[in-house]
């Protein structure tokens, strides 16, 4: 079963076949979403989600937005859950019926790893798109295991891009141009595009803020969480004033929430006081499963679909899609 407190390598415990079958029957008989089955036991609920994820479809399909939502996931603070949030929200939206593209804009290539995208030196990546005018379409990969999910990888080459971009014409607009051209020529419409940023406010992040309509800020529920947020908010204001009139902070997601500590609750309250209803109701709990998944080149949604981390990301994805 999905035990978040268990350690690496113990992923073979699973619900019994009977439990899975019972849960599958339950999920077939109803069209209710994963949240509405409050009478389910946690085990049946986790098993039902596992079965649904294996079939590539979870719950009732989410509504399609009226136009593609391009979302930059940014926070110049390192390790707050930007990449984890990008890949798991994207997977959660795709598994709930939407068509989603993830662009890895971080030279660390963590989103590429977590989505199982090859990203060695020879792979066509976001570097070639930004610096060598390659079409985005030529760098897009289909994500195995998750129908409807696509990605553009980042290779180590991207580490030089901050400097190389400086001398290029329209250096802040290159990602926007590439994404717009791709979305215009795609025959199937994307519902969401996520851009995973590095932990800095350099030219790569500026490109992401110019290319997007929305900013999603993951905030880790710990003591220094709010430090530096003012600078990010000011940067978004500057980009809006000078480079992209559409950009705004649409979504805050609380990550690595530890319900046992008073500090986490205090930070969450402070964030909710400041950002109001832009903060998603669901907070992502700290979960061993979430942190293990990337080492299996997977999102937590396929790695351990019944875990609390997976269920939270599915729920957060639903909340995002239902708040246009
Ligand atoms: N809910 C969670 N529970 C447990 N571990 C988590 C959770 N979310 C993220 N982590 C872990 O925290 C670390 C940082 O997360 P992540 O890489 O997503 O942050 P980031 O903001 O993208 O970092 P960077 O600034 O380096 O790009 C990773 O090891 C990740 O596995
Ligand atoms: Mg990251």
Ligand 1: nearest atom to the Cα of 84: 18
Q: How many CB atoms lie within 10 A of CB 78?
A: 10
Q: What is the mean pLDDT of the chain?
A: 88
Ligand 1: nearest atom to the Cα of 110: 17
Mean pLDDT on 80-96? 97
Our answer on whether the CB atom of 83 is closer than 6 Å to any ligand 1 atom is yes
> H/E element holding 100?
strand 100-104
In the prediction, which pLDDT does 54 show? 78
Our answer on whether the CB atom of 298 is closer than 6 Å to any ligand 1 atom is no
d(C-alpha 62, C-alpha 82), whole Å: 23
List pLDDT tens digits, range 171-191: 999 999 999 999 999 888 999
The conformation of residue 217, written as its DSSP 8-state character, comes to: E
Q: How many CB atoms lie within 10 A of CB 64?
A: 14
List pLDDT tens digits, range 281-314: 999 999 999 999 999 999 999 999 999 999 999 9
Q: What is the pTM of this model?
A: 0.88
Choosing from 81, 82, 88, 311 the residue with most ligand 1 atoms within 8 A of its CB, the one to mutate for a pocket test is: 81
| Domains present along the chain, CATH in parentheses | 40-320 (3.40.50.300)
In the prediction, which pLDDT does 15 show? 41
> Which of the ligands is closest to the CA of residue 104?
2
Our answer on whether the CB atom of 199 is closer than 6 Å to any ligand 1 atom is yes
Share of residues in the chain with pLDDT > 90 (%): 73
Question: Residue 271: which of 212, 209, 229 has the closest Cα?
Answer: 229
Q: How many CB atoms lie within 10 A of CB 68?
A: 19
Ligand 1: nearest atom to the Cα of 86: 18
In the sheet that 100-104 helps form, which strands lie side by side, from edge to edge? Answer: 141-142, 149-152, 100-104, 192-196, 69-73, 214-220, 248-255
In the prediction, which pLDDT does 40 show? 67
Is the pLDDT assigned to residue 64 strictly greater than 70?
yes
In the prediction, which pLDDT does 17 show? 53
Ligand 1: nearest atom to the Cα of 255: 1
Our answer on whether the CB atom of 27 is closer than 6 Å to any ligand 1 atom is no
Q: Cα dihedral angle (265, 268, 273, 274), rounded to 10 degrees? A: 150
Mean pLDDT on 239-243? 96
Task: For 67-85, give the secondary structure using H, E and C.
Answer: CCEEEEECCCCCCCCHHHH
Share of residues in the chain with pLDDT > 70 (%): 88
In the prediction, which pLDDT does 8 show? 35
Give buried/exposed letters for 169-196 (b at 16+ CB in 10 A, else e): eeebbbbbbbbeebbeebeeebbbbbbb
What is the pLDDT confidence band of residue 78, given thresholds at 50, 70 and 90?
Answer: very high
Our answer on whether the CB atom of 315 is closer than 6 Å to any ligand 1 atom is no
List pLDDT tens digits, range 247-283: 999 999 999 999 899 999 999 999 999 999 999 999 9
List pLDDT tens digits, range 142-173: 999 899 999 999 999 999 999 999 888 889 99
d(C-alpha 108, C-alpha 198), whole Å: 8
In the prediction, which pLDDT does 19 show? 45
């Amino acid at each position: 079963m999905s035990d978040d407190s268990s350690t690496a390598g113990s992923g073979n415990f699973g619900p019994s076949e009977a439990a899975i079958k019972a849960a599958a029957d339950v999920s077939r008989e109803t069209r209710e979403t994963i949240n509405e089955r409050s009478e389910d036991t946690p085990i049946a609920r986790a098993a039902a989600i596992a079965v649904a994820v294996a079939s590539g479809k979870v719950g009732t399909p989410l509504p399609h937005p009226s136009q593609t939502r391009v979302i930059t996931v940014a926070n110049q603070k390192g390790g707050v859950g930007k990449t984890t949030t990008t890949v798991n929200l994207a997977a959660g939206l795709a598994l709930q019926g939407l068509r989603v593209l993830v662009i890895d804009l971080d030279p660390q290539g963590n989103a590429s790893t977590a989505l199982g995208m090859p990203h060695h030196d020879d792979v066509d990546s976001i570097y070639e798109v930004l610096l060598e005018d390659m079409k985005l379409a030529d760098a897009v990969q289909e994500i195995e295991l998750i129908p409807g999910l696509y990605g553009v990888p980042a290779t180590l080459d991207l580490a030089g891009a901050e400097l190389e971009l400086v001398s290029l014409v329209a250096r802040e607009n290159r990602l926007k141009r590439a994404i717009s051209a791709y979305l215009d020529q795609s025959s199937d419409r994307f519902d969401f595009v996520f851009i995973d940023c590095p932990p800095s406010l350099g030219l790569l992040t500026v490109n992401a803020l110019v290319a997007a309509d929305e900013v999603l800020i993951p905030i880790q529920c710990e003591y220094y969480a709010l430090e530096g947020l003012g600078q990010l908010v000011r940067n978004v204001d500057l980009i809006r004033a000078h480079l992209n009139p559409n950009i705004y902070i649409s979504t805050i997601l609380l990550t690595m929430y530890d319900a046992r500590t008073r500090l986490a609750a205090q930070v969450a309250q402070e964030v909710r006081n400041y950002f109001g209803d832009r903060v998603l109701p669901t907070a992502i709990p700290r979960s061993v499963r979430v942190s293990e998944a990337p080492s299996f080149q997977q999102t937590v949604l396929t790695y351990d679909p019944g875990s609390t981390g997976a269920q939270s990301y599915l729920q957060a994805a639903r909340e995002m899609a239902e708040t246009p």
